[in-house]
Amino acid sequence: MAKKIRFFFRRTNLNRYTITYLTALLDEYLPDFFELKIVDGFGELYKELSLNSEFISVVGYSLGVWEFKKHLEEISQLKRSFKDKVIIISGGPQASGLPEEILDRGADLVFIGEAEESLLSFLKDFYHSLELPSERIIKPQPLQDFNSYPPFAYKRGIFSPIELRRGCENKCFFCQTPYLFPQIRERDLDYVKKYANLLKEQGKKDLFFLLPDGLSYKQKNKGVNITYLEKFLKELSEEGFNLCWGYFPSEVFPTRVVNTPQVAKVLKKYVQNKKISLGCQTGSPRILELINRDHTLEDVRKAVKVLREEGFQVIVDIILGFPQEELSDRWQTLNFIKDLAQNYQAKFNLHYFIRLPQTPFFKLKPTPIEEEIKDEIYSLMKKGIAFGNFFKQLKTAFGNNKNEA
């Protein structure tokens, strides 16, 4: 055909894993269709689009909560400047939950949910017809074997954690994962070995994994499949890889540790990370029930103790500002933090509640934080007990109005 398609992915620090994955997808299945380029800045993207070319330009945005407003402004500016000369498509968590808003700001198409096959299908059709579909909100198409999609763009030397598991059974009311990905998908050990060896060819031996709950992999009846997990870690370790498991970008659920405490010894034997992330979210029993967390505070305490006894530094995730949360709940949480810090040297990653589309809590307002609570959090951070983006997230939720926050 006379014209080819230039495809640009707009990459940022927060969507880089997704962009790497999608780049790998297009490299694998549509290698000759595009001049594909990843751009890291809006200025660079604008300059590329301004160049005279016989190519048709398509820009892909993966939209998450933290950069949503910024990226909407970019989309609007691109559409005002280039109009129909540039096709703008978007996907990701925010796009899946708020497609109409994105279309209103100038995007041509929005891809909902799992978009591997729907994206490939659209691009194939567009390559041949140069016409957009009449339906602007593109629904998911059935995926092939989950093992058939490469985890990173190894042909370009661009790597990211390997997504081992997609979806989560723990339907916490504030979390988007189980609602965005209602079907659980997992990848196999042979898949991991294949791509791990490609990493090794590039001189890399560190393996990181993406899965919402690090101990849910190949689970049995919601319990830890410790036999498979040990086999998985052992075989990769024996091949010379350094494994990071149960820490960013993953965590572990308290009851899995409590019900299968020997898993801590397995992790200690095979993984390189000395820190384990533990989901907790609150120190208030009332709020635990309200947000649909299927564990107790005692479960958290026991899990921290088990992991600490094996030498792990436990990083506990905490969210403040849930809808219907009261001052007494926040003090319970802060006192719980102090207790675990004193007895088990736990550290705490603090967050402020942010509403996410598709979740039961999306239409509920976060609770403002009192000055006395803010002062206590400042003190915990100063002592090194707590860290995180709590105050940045608080500002995102309420803007610059200190009276509201």
Residue from 149, 146, 100 nearest 120 by CA: 149
- Is the per-residue pLDDT at 402 higher than 60? no
Beta-carbon contacts of residue 302 (< 8 Å; ≥ 6 apart) = 254, 257, 258
Q: Tens digits of per-residue pLDDT, 111-168? A: 999 999 999 999 999 999 999 999 999 999 999 999 999 999 999 999 999 999 999 9
Residue located via tokens 């550290």: 347
The pLDDT assigned to 400 comes to 36
What are the structural domains of the chain?
Answer: 5-138 (3.40.50.280), 161-398 (3.80.30.20)
Residue-by-residue DSSP string for 368-379 = P--HHHHHHHHH
Q: Tens digits of per-residue pLDDT, 190-211? A: 999 999 999 999 999 999 999 9
By DSSP bridging, strand 137-138 and strand 109-111 are: parallel
Going 129 to 134 to 139 to 142, the CA torsion angle's sign is: negative
Distance CA 262, CA 249 (A): 23
Residue 223: band (very low, low, confident or very high) from pLDDT cuts 50, 70, 90: confident
Residue pair 27/154 in contact (Cβ under 8 Å)? The answer is no
In the chain the first and final C-alpha atoms are separated, in Å, by: 57
Q: How many CA atoms lie within 13 A of 12 on its CB side?
A: 16
Q: Tens digits of per-residue pLDDT, 334-389? A: 999 999 999 999 999 999 999 999 999 999 999 999 999 999 999 999 999 999 99
